[in-house]
Amino acid sequence: MSTALADLLPEEAILLDSEAADWQEAIRRAGELLEQTGVADERYTAAMIDTVVEHGPYIVLSPGFALAHARPDESVSRTGLAWVRLAEPVSFGHPENDPVRLVVALAAVDDADHTSAMAELAGVLADAHQQAQLEAARTPEQLRAVLMGETLSDAADSADQADPAAQQAATDQHLILTVCGNGLGTSLFLKNTLETVLGTWGWDRHVTVEATDTISARGRAKECQAILTSGEIAKTLGDVGVPVRVVTNFTSTTELDAALRELYEI
């Protein structure tokens, strides 16, 4: 990352896996970071929300990504950015690019001060390898390091192995069920581990994972691409018309990574 983007996005302006009930709250989280870092005040946060109310969700620029902003005015003290990755995506009402998990807020003192940083940001978000790296970042320091060109080794390995075939396979929204006897215990462990792997691959916007019980799994099998479960539950389920993959270690990202590769033939 060159000086332009580095200067506009300090670690204090990065919030990872934040909760937001709706798109307004998601923008508000980003606006609060701008306020806390002295970039803009609460009037600018309100203006970013008003922009979407007045003009619609045009700020959702690509699948899962929204660039929140408003016109430069006296509420902006200096040009800056805020980065909010949501724990759960929210809908902005965009017909193609919803739901949104990443909200980047931009405040600028004029129409030209931020152009270099925006070009760099666009390049980062268009790169599948760097997207996987950003998803794997667990702290603001790690995320900023990725933006500066450093590599998180685990994420790099997964991104290299999954691209390009993995990116092609994940173009549609898929559902995978993790199953145990009552849908409340071991299936949740398996769900969490699978979601970790999907996040590392950059697939978490394309694949939904739901934990459920055996009875519900039989009824919903036709809705999903695959079922992941234990050997015992697999025997109980029998033939449900979709692939059933047996997992031995429900906390092993390595085993889940291999199961996904087998499922998607990558």
Q: Which helix (H) or strand (E) holds 69?
A: strand 65-69
Give phi and psi for 23, each to the nearest 5: -65, -35
Q: In what order do the strands lie in the sheet with 100-107?
A: 14-18, 80-90, 100-107, 65-69, 60-62
| CB-based contact 252:258 (threshold 8 Å) | no
Catalytic residue (choose from 69, 94, 114, 174)? 69
In the annotation, is 69 catalytic? yes
**Are β-strands 65-69 and 60-62 bridged in parallel, bridged antiparallel, or unpaired?**
antiparallel
Task: Bin 238: left if φ > 0, else alpha if -120 < ψ < 50, else beta.
Answer: left
- Please report, for residues 23, 29, 79, 98, 110, the alpha-carbon distance to residue 130 in angstroms, rounded to integers and kept in the order given: 25, 24, 24, 21, 29
Residues 6+ apart with CB under 8 A from 254: none
How far apart are the C-alpha atoms of 25 and 8, rounded to whole Å?
22
Catalytic residues: 69
